Structure 1
Amino acid sequence: MKVGDFPIKGKIVVVTGGGSGINFSFVKKAVAEGCKVIIGDLTLTPEASKWFDKESKSSPVFFEKCDVTKWDQLKNLVTVSLKHFSDVPDVYVAGAGVFEPKWSNFWDDTEMERYAEMDINASHPIKLTRIAMQSLAEKNKKGVVLSLASIAGLQGTYSAALYCASKHAVVGFTKSMTLADELEGVKVATICPGLVYTPLWTDRHDAKQALDRFGVVMENAQTPDQVADLMLEVIQEGKYTGGAVVECTVGGSRIIPEWNISPPPGVGSSVPREVLEKNVKPMRDIMSAYRQKAPANL
């Protein structure tokens, strides 16, 4: 019952986060390949909006406002598919994500009840997978679920602990869903990109400070199109089986083994010591402020 090769032409594809960055690049490629596409996102970037206004006049592509932290809105994407295409999606791309925003991260600690970054980056792809499996089973269809994780899901970063935790969750969940390919005909896979030139970095209100703090050199970044090409490959080619975790950096791509993982080749996957020291300084300052409140040693 394995999915095997899965040509995407004519398939229904739903993409969360499809209004910008990597996912928007994937949406354009999917439409060009002859797919019927539903974009689920909070909004479209000006570039995506201009493209959508033109393309939607002649291609089966729809935009549905979707907050991925609201599970009823995720489920609604299937309803939208049934409305427009009289069938459930064949491909589910969990692409929406955030990187250490000021309003949700481990160190600024502004949230009182839950971490929105975990809801967006981890809970949303897990729930979308559950929705996909039920929807596909009810139609007796094979399908593919592809999540966007990060090489941060294969390592740790002190200053971005919550982001790393969320991406580790996606990697672990994907590996745990390996048997869904053989048993249920649903291939669950994930891609772990390295640095990518996207609005996740460039459109931040603190973009310059963030790039400097994290030692990001955009000249070493991949383009969204490069990652989107790999997304199409992973979805369609049977050599990427259920549970596949595929790393994607400027040094190339590879399927990550279960054990004994070596570092990725090429630039952009590590930072020098002096950058690391600058990177952790805000965390040290936060902890130092806490210590200022401690009673003096007797």
Structure 2
Amino acid sequence: MEKHEMAGDFPLTNKIVLVTGGGSGISFEFVRLAHAKKAKILIADLQLGEEARQLVESQKNVHFETCDVRRWKDLRGPIDISVRIWNDVPDVYIAGAGVFEPKWSNFWQDPEDETYDSIAINVNHPMKLTRIAIQALLSRNKKGVVCIIGSIAGLAGNYAVPLYCASKHAVTGFVRSMAPCEELEGVKITAMCPWYDIYPTTKRDFGLIATTDMLSSAVKTPLWTNQPDKMDQFNLDGAETVTAAQVGEAIVSLVEDGQYKGGTVLEITAYGTRVIPEWNISPTPTKLTGLVSQAEIDRNLAPIKASLNNQRTSLL
């Protein structure tokens, strides 16, 4: 089988970068860092946060395109814009848009009749963007990099947020499946797994890895702050073990550094970064500061129990 040149070291300078979800949070931090490295940037998002708006308005090489990542037509649009503005397709594709089981697409509250939109956003969007990226890069005979923002929720499970965990497991499996693409086509596909530290909700785990340190750990982005109910449910009001800027810097390394090959799943926590192996994964490091209290477990599961109790009542 014919092989192509590996992506290797891939500095962002003068590269064209497409970022979904780049209007805020982790994805915007990557945008900010890529801009500082003189990259040309396309932000594809529903709206811009204030910092992103200021950057777009003040910099000629940062453009914004309204994009609903559930619509594949919207995902293809920025490619045409890149060609029109810079006469080339993007070199780097960051799939950063995502949701954390909002009320409008939630397994336990179950408001949808046709499909889970959270799966369309967290799973279908990064997979389709990757396919679009490969097609665009091959059309110009270019090397390139795709990075999907996953989560360590893709390495374990959680009864309270099963759709979110399932979606991030899908990202992990997809990226590992795409590992040969770098060697065969010159397109490196990777995943960044930030530290969304939600303690497990199966009793067999409580005495092993659930600790009070794990109860208040998250990258504080709009994924959380736009859902006050989730902030309260998971006791995250004062939490922040890894900043969005730190995750952005890790994504830069994942894109630029040739030591990270296609198929790499890179975890970042308060204890550093590590490449997650495909087999025999050890638990994420954490400080054993004490067991989770029953009150915290009850708090975490309360919305689920309330929803199911209502269902029992409706069936009587």
TM over 0.5: yes
Q: How far does the alpha carbon of each residue in 1:163-199 deviate from its partner, in whole angstroms, 9 at most, with x for none?
A: 1111111111000001001111110000010121111
Q: How far does the alpha carbon of each residue in 1:9-40 deviate from its partner, in whole angstroms, 9 at most, with x for none?
A: 11110000000011111111101101010000
In 2: Cα distance, 1:276 partner to 1:247 partner: 26
User: Are residue 239 (structure 1) and residue 259 (structure 2) matched?
Assistant: yes
Instruction: Name which of 223, 234, 237 aligns with 1:200.
Output: 223
In 2: Cα distance, 1:267 partner to 1:135 partner: 45
1:280-291 counterparts in 2 under 5 A? 280-291=301-312
Q: Give the structure 1 partner of residue 15 of structure 2.
A: 11
Shift of 1:203: 2.6
Query: SS at 1:158's partner residue?
Result: coil
* Letter in structure 2 aligned against 1:290: Q
User: Are residue 28 (structure 1) and residue 32 (structure 2) matched?
Assistant: yes
Query: SS at 2:88's partner residue?
Result: coil
Change (3 A) 1:37 1:267: farther
1:101-120 counterparts in 2 under 5 A? 101-120=102-121
In 1: Cα distance, 2:248 partner to 2:126 partner: 18
Contact 2:55 2:62 in 1 (8 A): no
Q: Give the structure 1 partner of residue 298 of structure 2.
A: 277
Change (3 A) 1:273 1:158: farther
Query: SS at 2:239's partner residue?
Result: helix
Q: How far does the alpha carbon of each residue in 1:241-285 deviate from its partner, in whole angstroms, 9 at most, with x for none?
A: 0000001111111000011111222359x9824322321122122
Q: How far does the alpha carbon of each residue in 1:212-245 deviate from its partner, in whole angstroms, 9 at most, with x for none?
A: 2113254333111100000000001111100000
Runs of 4+ in 1 over 4 A off after TM superposition: none
Structure 1's unaligned 5+ residue stretches are: none
Query: SS at 2:109's partner residue?
Result: coil
Q: Give the structure 2 partner of residue 45 of structure 1.
A: 49
Shift of 1:293: 4.3
Structure 2's unaligned 5+ residue stretches are: 196-217
In 1: Cα distance, 2:285 partner to 2:238 partner: 17
In 1: Cα distance, 2:224 partner to 2:259 partner: 32
Q: How far does the alpha carbon of each residue in 1:191-210 deviate from its partner, in whole angstroms, 9 at most, with x for none?
A: 01012111111233xx1x32
* Letter in structure 1 aligned against 2:262: G
Shift of 1:286: 2.0
Normalised to the residue count of structure 2, the TM-score between the two structures is 0.87
Q: Give the structure 2 partner of residue 158 of structure 1.
A: 159
In 2: Cα distance, 1:25 partner to 1:261 partner: 29
User: Are residue 249 (structure 1) and residue 253 (structure 2) matched?
Assistant: no
Shift of 1:4: 1.3
Q: Give the structure 2 partner of residue 226 of structure 1.
A: 246
Q: Give the structure 1 partner of residue 174 of structure 2.
A: 173
Indicate the percent of aligned positions where both proteins have the same amino acid.
48
In 2: Cα distance, 1:271 partner to 1:33 partner: 44
In 1: Cα distance, 2:113 partner to 2:291 partner: 33
Shift of 1:133: 0.5
Normalised to the residue count of structure 1, the TM-score between the two structures is 0.92
1:62-211 counterparts in 2 under 5 A? 62-194=63-195, 195-204=218-227, 207=228, 209-211=229-231
In 2: Cα distance, 1:76 partner to 1:12 partner: 15
* Letter in structure 1 aligned against 2:18: V
In 2: Cα distance, 1:159 partner to 1:254 partner: 26
Shift of 1:100: 1.2
Query: SS at 1:22's partner residue?
Result: helix
Contact 1:7 1:236 in 2 (8 A): yes
RMSD: 1.7
Contact 2:7 2:144 in 1 (8 A): yes
In 2: Cα distance, 1:138 partner to 1:246 partner: 29
In 2: Cα distance, 1:250 partner to 1:126 partner: 28
Contact 2:160 2:304 in 1 (8 A): yes
* Letter in structure 2 aligned against 1:157: N
In 2: Cα distance, 1:92 partner to 1:185 partner: 14
Query: SS at 1:219's partner residue?
Result: coil
